[in-house]
A and B are shown apart, each in its own frame.
Chain A
Amino acid sequence: MSTAAPAVVTPLPRLPKAPTGIDGLDEITEGGLPLGRPTLVCGSAGCGKTLMAMEFLVRGVQDFGDPGVFMAFEETADELAANVASLGFDLPALQAAGKLRLDHVHVDRSEIEETGEYDLEGLFIRLGHAIDSIGAKRVVLDTIEALFSGFPNQGVLRSEIRRLFRWLKDRGVTTVITAERGEGSLTRQGLEEYVSDCVILLDNRVIDQITTRRLRIVKYRGTTHGTNEYPYLITEDGFSVLPVTSLKLEHTVSDNIVSSGVPGLDAMFGRKGFFEGSSILLTGTAGTAKTTLAVSFAAEMCRQGKRCLYFAFEESPPQLVRNMQSVGLDLREYLASGLLRIEASRPTLNGLEQHLVTIHRIIADDRPDAVVIDPISNLISVGSISEVRSMLTRLIDFLKVNGITALMTSLISGRNAQQEMTEEGVSSLVDTWITVRDLEGIGERNRGLSILKSRGMAHSNQVREFLVTNEGIRLLDVVLGPTGIVTGAGRRAQQLRDELEALTQQQEHERQDRELERRRRVLEGTIANLRTEFESVEDELRRIDLETQARQRLGE
């Protein structure tokens, strides 16, 4: 890649790849399937091998202009067309346009008698003719194993299949071959995986009555590729692979602030709210008004004319609307204006991956500014903790990349000693973490709210008591007692004590004032007495002085 050297340095040729157009698969394969080479897709029944192969062809035609041949050994052309019509693939139209050719190969052992030497040149000619007739660049053979049931001579068949792979490579067509998974090996015949340049394994497993599908690239000659097992789904739009960690941490960030919808809560943050596009986790024990806080946020977004998507896994939309009216949050107006959309479903409705895809699709359709998921802890019921964590990682990443502010609530068990460790372990993924809890005192419970962390801004360290009032959530002022912050009845008692103390102090003050006044008056009286005394003494002295002067004048 370097152009610094004076001589022209041509980069080593990279393996050319044929993009599949299948959601997520090109990401894992770093560009697609090996161009002009055979790829094996193997898996047990019901994995979607045929579907994946068909989508590879159809996307090839629609997105990349590569005509394709589908050679089916099991299903007829009509059956295939009917099967994929639900995915929006119009095979008859593609066939009519000369872009796709479906060729059904019928193999029936009972009709075939074998005498002496033969080869499968007929298949080659047939395939070659199909490829030439539309100038195909992509070929699918589904499922080549059917040949093994049709022809008794295994030796001939194995060498012919080897020759077929070689022949396909020579023709330069990108081929997908499907195969049933065998016992202890990737394929029944244990042959195809060795002659293919790329092997993709599809797996369908049931854990706790919920099916999850996994895809893994077993081998890919001449290139690097994702090696993990990736969940995949068969959706209305076709095949969809979800790379767990496809994203690098390089999303752009916003410096804008969005309000939490609770003024007192905003005030606890240094920047008076959340960063736009950040993810907020709200954890708490049962009945600590998590949903109310979440709806407050959603309603605030709508009030500012922003779109909010609310995933409710516990309450139906009418129930949510009714319940929120009791705390002064009227959602009907926002629902009517389309700013708010509530998507309610039971977590057990789908597997985790299905949920993720549903969420992805709704978000892609709706393009909201904020998303609320209430609660994520319910998802535990449909998957193991590690699965839920990986799903949430992907979801949070997805939302961050799209600059969508996300608020998630999570229920934590009150008995859990490590209250601050959420079960899903998503705390490290979120930017802001608010916890609400019961502050249980003598004979009562109060709700307290605190901020555990908030990336990128200062925040209050206090546990604040809050009330759910008719006008929404109100944070109360902090009241300090002799042993710290007091709440509820304790708060009231403390307030009364404070008032009493203030009154006593005032009375004491007034008493002191009066005492002072009295003393002043006594003092003033004494001063007046002394002055009178002084005046009489002065008079006396003056009289004596006058007498002395008179006596002196008489004496002269």
Chain B
Amino acid sequence: MSITTTEEETWELRLYVAGQTTKSITALANLKKYCEEHLKGRYQIEVIDLLKHPQLAEGDQILAIPTLVRKVPEPIRKIIGDLSNEERVLVGLDIRPRS
């Protein structure tokens, strides 16, 4: 996936959490920070609390919490954990090419 084709699209990101746990809060904070740095103005973050909407876990095959799902651009990518490792998040989202 080259960066040039994705630059025009708006990135749709979904973060699955289960209540306001430390891991969830850390993950959301980290995600916002990376997006502001690398995708400013062309991203959407949707936070889904599975405690409130447990039926949504099935759709995206969510097992681990927190899980970040990149819906657009395709293909779907999943990143689990509190997103504390910036390098791996950027590689995982294909913002930075794999070395």
On A, residues with C-beta under 8 Å from B are 103, 105-107, 111-123, 125-126, 128-129, 132, 147, 150-151
Contacts and interface: CB of A to CB of B under 8 A. Distances in A.
B89 interface: yes
Given A113-B91, A121-B65, A129 B54 contact: yes
A122 B79 contact: no
Interface residues of A: mostly helix, strand, loop or mixed?
Answer: mixed
Nearest to B93: A113
Nearest to A128: B54
Contacts of A151: 63-64, 80
Contacts of B14: none
Nearest to A156: B64
A123 B63 contact: yes
B63 A103 contact: no
Contacts of A125: 18, 50-51, 54, 57, 65
Given A114-B79, A125-B51, A126-B63, 9 more contacts: A105-B61, A112-B78, A115-B83, A116-B27, A118-B80, A125-B54, A126-B54, A126-B62, A128-B54
Contacts of B80: 112-115, 118, 151
Interface residues of B, number: 32
A120 B64 contact: yes
A118 B54 contact: no
Contacts of B85: 115-116
A121 B84 contact: no
Given A113-B77, A113-B92, A118 B23 contact: yes
A129 B84 contact: no
B55 to A, nearest CB: 6
B46 to A, nearest CB: 16
B51 to A, nearest CB: 7
Nearest to A130: B58
Contacts of A117: 23, 81-82, 84
Interface string B47-70: 000110011011001111111000
Of A103, A114, A125, A128, most B-chain CB atoms within 10 Å? A125
A311 to B, nearest CB: 52
A150 B89 CA distance: 18
Contacts of A123: 63-64
A111 B58 CA distance: 16
- 3 interchain residue pairs of minimum CB distance: A113-B92, A129-B54, A116-B84
A125 B50 CA distance: 7
A143 B14 CA distance: 28
A147 B18 CA distance: 20
B58 A113 contact: no
A141 to B, nearest CB: 12
Nearest to B91: A113
Interface in B2-27: 16, 18, 23, 26-27
Contacts of B50: 121-122, 125-126
Nearest to B87: A115
A555 B32 CA distance: 200
A105 B84 CA distance: 26
Nearest to A103: B58
A105 B62 CA distance: 9
B63 A114 contact: no
B88 interface: yes
A147 B50 CA distance: 20
A150 B63 CA distance: 10
B54 A113 contact: no
A118 B64 contact: yes
A114 B80 CA distance: 5
Given A126-B63, A151-B64, A121 B83 contact: no
A115 B81 CA distance: 5
A115 B89 contact: yes
Nearest to B22: A117
Contact of A126 (B23, B57, B66, B76): B57
Contacts of A129: 54-55, 57-58
Contact of B79 (A106, A115, A132): A115
A106 B81 contact: no
Of A107, A113, A114, A150, most B-chain CB atoms within 10 Å? A113
Contacts of B51: 125
Given A115-B84, A129-B54, A120 B65 contact: yes
Nearest to B49: A125
Contacts of A122: 16, 18, 50, 57, 62-65, 67
Of B27, B63, B89, most A-chain CB atoms within 10 Å? B63
A118 B58 contact: no
A271 to B, nearest CB: 71
B55 A118 contact: no
10 contacts: A111-B78, A115-B82, A116-B81, A116-B85, A118-B82, A122-B64, A123-B63, A125-B18, A126-B58, A129-B54
